[in-house]
């Protein structure tokens, strides 16, 4: 009896034991084989051999094929492993753990989408009154039409008469010399336009409603009238102002008494002033007046957007 007891104690001393896995064996080969199992790896190191290549390399350490499932169970043949995987709950539990996460993610996205939708609706509600105001302003602006009669008879009721405009022109020698330098058309145009620009738009005696067609309105004898196709009133204005300018020749001669003599240094300049003051070169006075009227019309076009 003592001999059997001693043998048993000796056998237990030679036993290999994995405390964490609660695994016992008497052969070192089996113990080392256990240390390579998935179960042992999970418990001791917290990981699983993922790839089949790694799995096979570990299985073949001792020259024998070895198949194991991710759950830790081991099979000598692949058929056994395949059959086991059909009923193994390890992967199913993993999949089931993912589904709730997906559901939670979907619920979060739905909630965020709902919040975003509410924000967009709130912004739209705030913008709508502003759009209505802008649209209303645009409609009113588009519906606002220019009334020529109101503009002339009310807005411009205090405008000068064309005759008063001509009388108000106080020409100087510099105007005469400017006509001599630029020529009759540009010189006389400059005198008229400069005076018109010095007046407020509502005080001017001339207005143009269509620059392309040169549609002009002139105030004369306290009433506004549309100029006829011949522009009779404006042609009279041009002639009167040209006459005023030519009278300055006497003032120039008084300033430079010898200008009439050929040997005088002012002789050529004086002769040029005479030519331009009297209408310049060329015999077609109508064409010259047409050019002056065109320049005037371009400067007195009504800005209808302001009225």
| Direct distance between the N- and C-terminal alpha carbons of the chain, in angstroms, rounded to an integer | 132
The residues of the chain scoring below 50 in pLDDT are: 1, 47-54, 57-58, 60-64, 92-100, 136-143
Q: Number of folded domains in the chain?
A: 2
pLDDT at 127: 74
pLDDT the model gives residue 181: 92
CA distances from 193 to 132, 160, 262 (A): 45, 15, 35
Per residue in 61-91, pLDDT (tens digit) is 444 456 778 777 777 777 777 778 778 876 5
What is the per-residue pLDDT for 94? 44
Q: What is the DSSP string of 11-73?
A: HHHT-EEETTTTEEES-HHHHHHHHTSHHHHHHHHS----SHHHHHHHHGGGTS--EE-TTS-
Tens digits of per-residue pLDDT, 18-53?
877 777 787 777 777 877 777 777 766 654 444 444
Question: What are the beta bridge partners of residue 219?
Answer: 224
CA distances from 140 to 132, 134, 137, 143, 145 (A): 12, 10, 5, 5, 10
Residue 129 in domain: no
Cα(132)–Cα(130) distance, rounded to whole angstroms?
5
Q: Which pLDDT does position 146 carry in this prediction?
A: 85
Q: Which structural domain, as residue segments, surrounds residue 40?
A: 14-90
Let me know if residue 134 belongs to a domain: no
- Cα–Cα distances in angstroms (integers) from residue 282 to residues 15, 153, 297, in the given order: 137, 41, 24
* 154 and 85 co-located in one domain: no
Q: Is the pTM of this model over 0.95?
A: no
Q: Given 90, 108, 138, which residue is the final one in a domain?
A: 90
Cα 157–chain centre separation: 44
* pLDDT for 154: 93
- The answer on 184 and 81 residing in a single domain is no
What's the Rg (C-alpha) of the chain? 56
Tell me the CB-side half-sphere exposure of residue 270, using CA atoms within 13 A.
Answer: 19
Judge residue 65's burial from the number of C-beta atoms within 10 Å of its C-beta, 0-12 exposed, 13-18 middle, 19 or more buried. Answer: exposed
> Are 45 and 152 within one domain?
no
For residue 51, the SS3 value is coil
**Per-residue pLDDT, 44:** 66
Is residue 1 in a domain? no
């Amino acid at each position: 009896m003592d001999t059997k007891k001693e043998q048993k104690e000796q056998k237990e001393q030679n036993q290999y034991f994995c405390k964490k896995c609660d695994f016992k064996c008497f052969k070192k080969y089996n113990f080392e084989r256990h240390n390579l199992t998935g179960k042992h790896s999970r418990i001791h190191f917290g990981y699983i051999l993922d790839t089949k290549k790694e799995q096979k390399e570990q299985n073949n350490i001792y020259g024998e094929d070895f198949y194991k499932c991710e759950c830790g169970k081991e099979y000598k043949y692949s058929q056994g492993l395949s059959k086991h995987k059909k009923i193994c709950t390890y992967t199913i539990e993993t999949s089931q753990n993912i589904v709730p996460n997906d559901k939670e993610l979907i619920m979060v996205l739905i909630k965020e989408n709902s919040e975003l939708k509410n924000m967009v609706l709130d912004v739209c509600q705030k913008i709508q009154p502003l759009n209505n105001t802008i649209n209303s302003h645009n409609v009113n602006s588009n519906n606002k039409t220019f009334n020529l009669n109101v503009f002339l008879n009310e807005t411009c009721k205090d405008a000068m008469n064309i005759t008063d405009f001509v009388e108000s022109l106080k020409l100087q020698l510099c105007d005469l010399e400017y006509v001599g330098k630029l020529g009759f058309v540009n010189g006389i145009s400059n005198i008229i336009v400069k005076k018109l620009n010095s007046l407020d738009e509502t005080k001017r005696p001339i207005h143009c409603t269509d620059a392309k067609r040169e549609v002009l309105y002139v105030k004369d004898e306290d009433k506004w009238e549309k100029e006829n196709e011949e522009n009779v009133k404006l042609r009279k204005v041009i002639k009167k102002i040209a006459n005023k300018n030519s009278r300055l020749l006497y003032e120039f001669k008084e300033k430079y008494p010898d200008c009439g003599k050929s040997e005088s240094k002012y002789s050529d300049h004086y002769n040029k002033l005479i030519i331009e003051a009297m209408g310049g070169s060329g015999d077609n006075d109508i064409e010259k007046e047409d050019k002056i009227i065109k320049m005037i019309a371009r400067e007195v076009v009504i800005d209808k957007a302001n009225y």
